[in-house]
Amino acid sequence: MFKTDIAFKSDTNKGFLPFITAFMVFLACITFATALTGKYLANDWDKKISKNITIQVLPDMKNKNPNKEIEERIKNITEILKQTPGIKSSYAMSMNETIKLLKPWLGEIGEDKLDIPLPRIISVEVSEIIPLNIRALTDEIKNYSNLITIENYESWMNDFTNTISAIQTLLGLIVILILATTGITIAHTTKSGLIVNKNVIEIMHMVGAHNSYISKQFSTQMMKLSISGGIIGYIISCLTIYTIQQFAIEINGGIISNITFSNKTYIYILAIPIIAGIISKITAVFTINKTLNQMV
């Protein structure tokens, strides 16, 4: 498929072009895969967060016994949640659990050492079958007490999704820039290769070879070098992605453990070396034709 009829002189391009193409394809594949995993991460968080809402019950500091009063309110709110369509389950964190949650900020404290009552958290899981009217639930709880806040993370998730989209756009532009740089590098390498083989090209002209024939022969050789480098870059990027995937699996908790590369990622990034090959062919032909016309 990539066999040529002309024995072009050996030059540094035979080592340089596959190397630079492999490096560029590797960078583009990793960047593209990162953009894809950002999409998977956003979708995964959206699925998890959309199923949950958090209710924060604030203590009534005007009450003589705020801890007892807040317990009564939690019981009443729990009853409201049980009667609300679309609520799958609810769980009110105990005082000890709240203290453990605040441990990174308050340090090691006990319930008997607290001078002020703490707010309490009720975690609510939303049903996947019955839709929840969050506005109606908010109004009902607000009418019951104004010392209660409800967070459904919708606005936060919208901001997070917009941020991910902006990052994906930036990464997409980086991929385009890498491919453009690859094209420029191939053009420069092709031109230098023609200069090295100038005597061979002149001999071909003397025996009656047309520029189109020489262009086809030389571009075939350049494309062979580019594709070999692209394949190497693709293989290395796949191994890197697999290593990152295994590393993320071994980490428990945190955003890194949620990093996921689906099997389709390997198929999607396969487009990078293919595009690089097409760019190398177009760039080489354009550069060769322009240079040959100048040699005539």
Tell me the pLDDT tens digit for each residue of 126-144.
887 888 787 888 888 888 8
- Is the predicted pLDDT of residue 22 greater than 50, yes or no? yes
- Per domain, the residue ranges of the chain are 13-47+157-295, 59-146
Tell me the pLDDT tens digit for each residue of 47-88.
666 677 888 888 887 777 877 888 888 888 888 888 888 888
Three-state SS annotation for the chain: CCCCCCCCCCCCHHHHHHHHHHHHHHHHHHHHHHHHHHHHHHHHHHHHHHCEEEEEECCCCCCCCHHHHHHHHHHHHHHHHHCCCCEEEEEECCHHHHHHHCHHHHCCCCHHHCCCCCCEEEEEEECCCCCCCHHHHHHHHHHHCCCEEEECCHHHHHHHHHHHHHHHHHHHHHHHHHHHHHHHHHHHHHHHHHHHCHHHHHHHHHCCCCHHHHHHHHHHHHHHHHHHHHHHHHHHHHHHHHHHHHHHHHCCCCCHHHCCCCHHHHHHCCHHHHHHHHHHHHHHHHHHHHHHHHHC
- Is the predicted pLDDT of residue 226 greater than 70, yes or no? yes
